[in-house]
Amino acid sequence: MAKGSGPVSESTYFILAALLDGPLHGHGIIKHVLGLSEGRVKLPVGTLYGALDRLAGGGLIAVEREEVVDGRPRRYFRLTDDGTRLVLTEAERMRQAASVVTGRALPGSAFVPLTSRAAVGLALGRRAAWWPAPT
């Protein structure tokens, strides 16, 4: 995976976004991605570890530490500087792409354009306090 080579998959984006909050082990990443994506991105274990191997091989994440829990090794992953740059660049790319639609009112809709800050928050899977919860 070339660093900063263009759009990343949704699962890769959310894995990197989950690690913005600090190092996590595999199960923690799965749970955090599910929360950030509001249930849209469900990572099977095999998919997650394949992605983690690719991201580590590309220098976007690194193993922070390892520990043994109940006789099983647990690896904690963290973002590298390149990984942080990539996920922030991707968030900005999506914000700019979304602004094509969010920057204007659509005919016949009650659409309210979002601010850049709100759009980036939504792109990262974070709902602003004033944004209504999904029903």
Predicted confidence at residue 72, as pLDDT, reads: 87
Confidence of residue 4 (pLDDT cuts 50, 70, 90): very low
Predicted confidence at residue 121, as pLDDT, reads: 60
Q: What percent of the chain has pLDDT over 90?
A: 56
Contacts of 94-99 with C-beta under 8 Å, sequence gap 24+, read 94/123, 95/119, 95/120, 95/123, 98/123
**How far is it, in rounded angstroms, from Cα 110 to Cα 133?**
18
Question: Could you tell me which of 15, 12, 14, 11 has the C-alpha nearest to residue 1?
Answer: 12
Average pLDDT along the chain: 82
Confidence of residue 111 (pLDDT cuts 50, 70, 90): low
